[in-house]
Structure 1
């Protein structure tokens, strides 16, 4: 074992919460093992009896985490209809049915059937995509379902962890999952991997000694916790908490209480729906009143016609296809992200990520690889950097940027010393490094594995390790802070003692130092230089380990063997041999950033997205990694959990505005940080992989879990899962989210402006019926420019295809060149509403003028029948909307910019046009929709009039660009 955990001093605050036990025993980490055992009536010699264990299990319940009952299927289905826009469509269905009944219930209620189909389609899409219900507490329970070894009735037994009770004596060994929170009674070289609970990347060295005072969870060295794992060593512990009373249980409680807020898109669509609802009612009432007054309605038949017109307009004003199109577009976005290793569980989360203004990221396993790596070796003759990241042994040794093997140092003293340092650390080592199907895996302590990887990067050092075999060992303990292994050279049987540990402890036992091939006295000057090397590495946030050895001629006598091959018996070895050592050097170990993470952070900053690091790791390490990644400037300090404990809500908001690195934080701190950012108006994406991240992930606007290293807890609590654990994938997802949001705006612009065109056409057509010749062309009591069936045709059929195609429009402009959308920014802002209304008015003017052109009388003298003129106006409005589809791809860019990149849009426009030809020219459809055939001249006029929409919008955009040069549209 090593002493890396002791190489840096940790003055972390007291934030531990006392856990009450039976007998009034407070926080067990502050009391002796015997006192804790007495408090929980435990027998440390023979354990509980089977009968007593059964009694306690019946009284306290199983060692499981409480979970909510699953959501019934009918509730999941009903939830798909709980949306303001859906409510509006349901009202439209009722009105359509009422009008159909008022007309005599002749034929099928086509309007109601079509709208119902749209509502049902939307519900099916939403249900299919979101069928995986969140159940994070249940995931916690399944994650910790395992067996544990306990002492019962005086013998060792393996029992399901769910049957552990307070007072059980846990027997721990390497590879075991810890089944409950427990106070250590004994420990030998025991190290626990607690990253999933605390965020600490380094396995924690455990010791049974009582703590002097309350400390944070990550620093309770005499406790082991449910859901963690034994990385190395053995130990025994008495169970103090089970089930929901454990630390992981408290996180489950927090997770259970965390509320989810609707996404920004859901809030915005809800607002638009309410606005449309009011607008629809107002428009319908005004149009019906104006129509009744202008046409002097007196009969019941005329009144029904007016009501049907009002219903048609109401339906026209509401984009019925919006919910289904929105769901389809989001679903397509989800599929695209899945192909990029970003699995989105909630449809609306796609857009939310695009709106993110802050990415609050965990460090370990997210920004870093969670693979301890030796990056630097300092010896008496100089310094060497090792390239390569993680457990794949790819890399080389560099001196001043030049390869050690190729430079003047290749056969010099520095190469000899570095080779000996890496070989020594690899020999005094109990980890294993193996390759399986091209992937490198470790077993044992990650810090020890770092030596094995580093030795392989320097082939002579790796070859040196294969020349020895282990004969004896003095294991690591928290008191000794070092370990020694007695290695025997296979070729001649000579023995050598290899030692590694905390550098300051090791130097106290050294009297000599390795300089090239020579061993020289370790005088005060050389000792001071070695200590300065350690301080230099520590200041750079490296964990430090020193390496030393004792030569074979000395070890032969101390070990009780003559030193030759074939000596009988096992050599004797104890701590007395760890004296008069030869110091070789010190290595700097760190969990390095992912190679692509720095570029991803830079891209996020370019997009105006702030990246924050929130970790349970040491503040110095966190600040170093954050600076390496470009999250903060070099020299910036991390805010610790202690600092956060002293802040009220207002103070925390102030700190989160300035600081981007937080270290030694507890789960409640992460929640407070997320809440403070949200209170400041930010859309927060929170990433993480451990159990401790789950509450914050659930509270954030979008929680992002790691798919490989992430626990099931975080995956269930999150809205998105990264299949490759790659921070760069998050930034790619931000880009995709922004593209999707732009596309949502495109089809909203298209649908609403087209619908306004229909509304204005009918409203002004009725109001100006005498001016454009409508009144004199018909003997009907109520004369309208468009029939109700024609309005529904435009709204329910012609609109949908182009709108859906716009939902998959490729990225037109650089979406990462603009700042995130603020929560106060409306999806339909004043500029967009101006465009929607102006385009609607131009459409109506073009449509009504076309009708006037072909009707006798009016502003322009024509000679066609009302049916032909109305069909021409109807066709003009349809074609104008198809032109408008290209306008709507951008509020500011020309319709001709990247005109042919979306083949789906061209296909949708072509299909809609063909359907319109069929409506106009096919006799059966003419009867159904009240149309008449048009000749070539009529079609030419329709096209010319409809194109006015395109030229008007091009002029409007040109003026806008002239006023706002340099702004992104």
Structure 2
């Protein structure tokens, strides 16, 4: 980081000579490389990416699976069993810990790879000169010798030397400096540290203003950023809020389980008269029965699956936790251009002092002087390129103006435009205009300006008349122009004003305020950007889902209102707030406005306004999704709960600051993401309910054994319980994470930010409704077998007694009863309120396969001799099997009845 750019003593370097030497050494030119040469260099130097050189992280991740709270609880149970001499149980519990840790590790690795794979959906892009023309390539394909085209908002992806132009660069990623630094091709620094050289730009930094071209001299790990990455590489996995919340619940479960186990040992020995050994067996069973082993890995995998599904729909989510947040979004602040509309601008009408001209490709307007001046200004004050009709580069508005200029007979080659340009005042989001200083063929210098009419017209003193001469811009004419802008805006057209000013060649102003004054208005250009056809349905879904939509745009208020009405965002007369009005509002006034019932459109708004609106909404307790695409949108995107950047039209800075990137720039994708977020959140709750519902039937056998004082033999052995937890529970739980969305998912209001994933009604349904029913059924099966064999309370069932085989069948019956109840619970957990018929019994084939697997596994445990000897099971007779057949239907049917009563009660409550 202390490298110094050095030269020979006494040698005065010329910037042009230095550049020529660099280009010679890189075997490149100012027109860039050919595609074939670039491919050869890519093979030789490798891809432009930072590669991991640090040690492996998987051993640490694997160790973590053995030390989370639920695993620690099982370790305690294994240690307790070993201390009292029941080694087979201790060994079995350790085996469960190992199996569960391996399963969780595999799932988390899968989840991590799923998130890392999203990079393929969102490759960093770079604009370069290849084969003499501008091409957009993936940044990893950059090679030394490439000529970069750097524009405002671009992330610089390689170390490069500027060839021409000047830019402001944010170097904070390398130097920590918050203020942007100016870099120019005309500044040649020597005897300074490398990062301070004002003619160099570096990978990992961002261009915040200006345009330039630069030749790449270092890529990948050879860049300054690569050096830093090689020195300090640390990869930490962030825990999502949902995982944090579930981990806290896991600690709570562990604490309750330990307290129950410790408390029941003296109760069982002193109160129930059990031996100390039987009391410890009971405690171990209680601990194991309370542990939802698959909870954490299943949640991680479900979130990862949700992220992958969203990516396929065009929404690249960069954090697992964002899936959870999407489900509770209740306000969407959206831009207009490109999000609600197609972002395919086309100039339709031009208004000048000579009249109104409709732009028709088949019937171009006459080539009068005023229109020629207008077309020249549109072509000069422009940074877009049209290489051919199918290959355009640049902002859609500028592309549309270039196309209009061609129809008017003025076509300016990009290289010629760059040769004529003397300087540029870049588009300023707060000023809403852009200007360039250009020379013509006669050597005259002109200022060309384009921008929002309300910011350009006040700077105009004259207007070009029908003869091509300036005439005073009277107040009456200004009123006509204002009415004209409003009329076009009400039709949903975007209107820009174009102006010019002749300048003396030797007195070109460098100050923007001095340059942009005393302008001559050339005309008003109206262009259409039609709404996306799919947005209207998406907006309707948002309204029924209780999601408020606020439009925040830099466009004219009437244009935004017209588009908002066309897509259904506004259903009454909206309240339109201009940027000027917003700036004059106090925080209290803004809070009152946002809290009111009005449909809001913020027009001519600056990026700072987005940040202020996001702050106000979040302070009011709303979960906010905010769209943005510019450099200055980055603070608002970071502040919003879900920052949404545009993948096509957005800048690299906006994409990096965002939580989610739309690869298609489409508002409908936001609605789809919210729906997917709700679905994933619902499915997480479903399999948490499914897992928790088994705690009651798992604990009940040990409670019956303890409370009977040993008169009732243990209805389920610890080894059988472990087989149930590990073998039959996991696959159906995973399948519930793939459940289709319930009917009415987008008719529900958004959940509150503070609502926990595990709530009291869920626990009551799991433990005291579904769990109690399953427990009653399994115990009924257990006592059926024992009583049929002639057992009475207190009768011996140990090895060698006449009732021992019947006892083994009875415990096997308890195991099978739990499996049968588990199947009913799986179907009941598929919906929270809707009937199973409404979503389809067969609509989740993965669940059916999971149930088939657990039935096959249960049959193997019951009928295969090797497993019988290990787990203490015995084959069941046909009447025993027949008794368990209705168990799933009873469990599911009881919950179906509960949900029907719940729907009916809510319906009556709504009517009254």
Instruction: Please state which band the TM-score falls in when normalised by the shorter chain.
Output: 0.5 to 0.7
Work out which of the residue numbers 517, 526, 533 in structure 2 matches 1:588.
526
Secondary structure at 2:907's aligned position in 1? coil
Residue 865 of structure 1 aligns to a residue whose secondary structure is helix
Find out whether 1:935 has 2:877 as its counterpart.
yes
Matched residue, 1:103: 85
User: Which of 317, 325, 329 in structure 1 is aligned with 2:298?
Assistant: 325
Aligned counterpart, 1:453: 403
2:161 aligns to what?
A: 147
CA deviations on 1:217-275 (whole Å, 9 max, x unpaired) are xxxxxxxx95323399xxxxxxxxxx9xxxxxxxxxxxxxxx99975533542453344
Q: Is the 8 A contact 1:513 1:584 kept in 2?
A: no
Structure 2 residue corresponding to 1:230, chosen from 211, 217, 232: 211
Are residues 418 and 150 of structure 1, via their aligned partners in 2, closer, same or farther at CA, if it must alter by over 3 Å?
A: closer
CA 111–379 in structure 1, closer or farther in 2 if over 3 Å, else same: same
Match of 2:725 in 1: 795
Matched position secondary structure for 1:962: helix
Q: Go from structure 1 to structure 2 and tell me whether the alpha carbon gap of 1:945 and 1:522 turns closer, same or farther (over 3 Å shift).
A: closer
| Matching of residue 825 in structure 1 with residue 765 in structure 2 | no
Q: Which residue of 1 aligns with 2:668?
A: 728
Moved more, 339-348 or 100-109: 100-109
Shift of 1:281: 3.0
Give the match's secondary structure for 2:689.
helix
Judge which range, 79-88 or 90-99, deviates more: 79-88
Residues 448, 505 of structure 1: alpha-carbon distance in 2 compared, 3 angstrom cutoff: farther
Q: Secondary structure at the match of 2:644?
A: strand
Give secondary structure in 2 for the equivalent of 1:508.
Answer: strand
What is the deviation of 1:806?
A: 1.1
| Cα distance in 1 for residues equivalent to 2:441 and 2:699 | 90
Contact 1:880–1:946 under 8 Å retained in 2: yes
1:508 to 458, 462, 465: 462
- Corresponding residue to 2:538 among 591, 600, 606: 600
Aligned to 1:358: 331
Q: Is the 8 A contact 1:547 1:586 kept in 2?
A: no
Taking a change above 3 Å as real, the CA distance of residues 151 and 617 of structure 1, as seen in their structure-2 partners, is closer
Partner of 2:143: none
State whether structure 2 residue 779 is matched by structure 1 residue 838.
no
Give the structure 1 partner of residue 497 of structure 2. 545
**Per-residue CA shift, 1:18-39, capped at 9, x if unaligned?**
xxxxxxxxxxxxxxxxxxxxxx
In structure 1, distance between residues paired with 2:739 and 2:404? 49
1:418 and 1:486 map into 2 onto residues whose CA distance is 19
1:244-643 → structure 2 map (5 Å cutoff): 265-266=242-243, 268-293=245-270, 295-298=272-275, 303-361=276-334, 366-367=339-340, 373-378=346-351, 425-426=374-375, 428=377, 429-430=379-380, 439-442=390-393, 447-454=397-404, 461=407, 508-512=462-466, 531=481, 534-536=484-486, 542-545=494-497, 586-589=524-527, 596-614=534-552, 630-631=568-569, 634-638=573-577, 640=579, 643=582
Are 1:847 and 1:873, in contact at CA under 8 Å, matched by a contact in 2?
yes
Q: Find out whether 1:962 has 2:870 as its counterpart.
A: no
- Listed one character per residue, the Cα deviations across residues 458-500 of structure 1 (whole Å, up to 9, x for unaligned) are xxx46x5689999999999989989999999xxxxxxxx9999
> Over residues 609-663 of structure 1, what are the superposed CA-to-partner deviations in whole Å (9 max), with x where a residue is unaligned?
2233456778787777666655556552336488569755x77654543485556
Two-structure CA RMSD over aligned residues (Å)? 5.7
The offset of 1:671, in angstroms, is: 5.0
2:392–2:399: 8 Å Cα contact kept in structure 1? no
Structure 1 contact 376–588 (Cα < 8 Å) conserved:
yes
Distance 1:91 1:142, change over 3 A: farther
**CA displacement at 1:723 relative to structure 2:** 2.3
CA deviations on 1:782-825 (whole Å, 9 max, x unpaired) are x3111101111112221111111111112231311111111233
Q: Alpha-carbon deviations, 1:114-163, whole Å to 9, x = none?
A: 2344345434544554478999xxx99855854335899xxxxxxxx999
User: Structure 2: where are the runs of 5+ without partners?
Assistant: 1-13, 19-50, 120-152, 167-172, 188-193, 199-203, 214-223, 225-235, 426-432, 451-455, 501-517, 796-801
Q: CA deviation at 1:330?
A: 2.0
* Aligned match for 2:678, one of 738, 752, 766: 738
**Corresponding residue for residue 74 of structure 2:** 92
CA distance in 1, matches of 2:615, 2:478: 48
Shift of 1:937: 1.1
Using structure 2 for the length normalisation, give the TM-score.
0.66
Deviations 1:529-553 (A, max 9, x none): 85355443586584433699xxxxx
1:670, CA displacement in angstroms? Answer: 4.9
For 2:813, which of 872, 880, 898 is the aligned residue? 872
| Structure 2 counterparts to residues 172-211 of structure 1, below 5 A | none
Alpha-carbon contact 1:143-1:227 (below 8 Å) kept: no
Provide the residue aligned with 1:555 in structure 2: none
Kept in 2: contact 1:424–1:498 (CA 8 A): no
Cα gap change, 1:182 to 1:927, in 2 (>3 Å):
closer
Q: 1:588 to 1:789 in 2, by over 3 A?
A: same
**Alpha-carbon distance in structure 2 between the residues aligned to 1:447 and 1:85:** 57
Deviations 1:154-184 (A, max 9, x none): xxxxxxx9999999884589xxxxx99999x
The residue that corresponds to 1:778 in the other structure is none
**Pairs within 5 Å for 1:700-779:** 700-767=640-707, 775=712
Match of 2:780 among 832, 840, 849: 849
The count of corresponding residues between Structure 1 and Structure 2 is 739
What is the SS of the residue equivalent to 1:825?
A: coil
Measured after TM superposition, the shift of residue 840 of structure 1 is: 0.7
| Contact preservation (8 Å) 1:422, 1:451 | no
> Does structure 1 residue 892 correspond to structure 2 residue 833?
yes
Are 1:537 and 1:544, in contact at CA under 8 Å, matched by a contact in 2? no
Distance, in Å, in 2 between the alignment partners of 1:83 and 1:361 is 42
User: What SS is found at the alignment partner of 1:705?
Assistant: strand
Residues in 2 aligned to 1:543 and 1:948: alpha-carbon distance in whole angstroms:
67
1:436 offset after TM fit, Å? 7.2
**Residue 880 and residue 124 in structure 1: after superposition, are their counterparts in 2 closer, same or farther (change >3 A)?**
closer
State how far apart, in whole Å, the 2-side matches of 1:265 and 1:473 are: 58
Mapped partners of 1:480, 1:952: distance in 2:
69
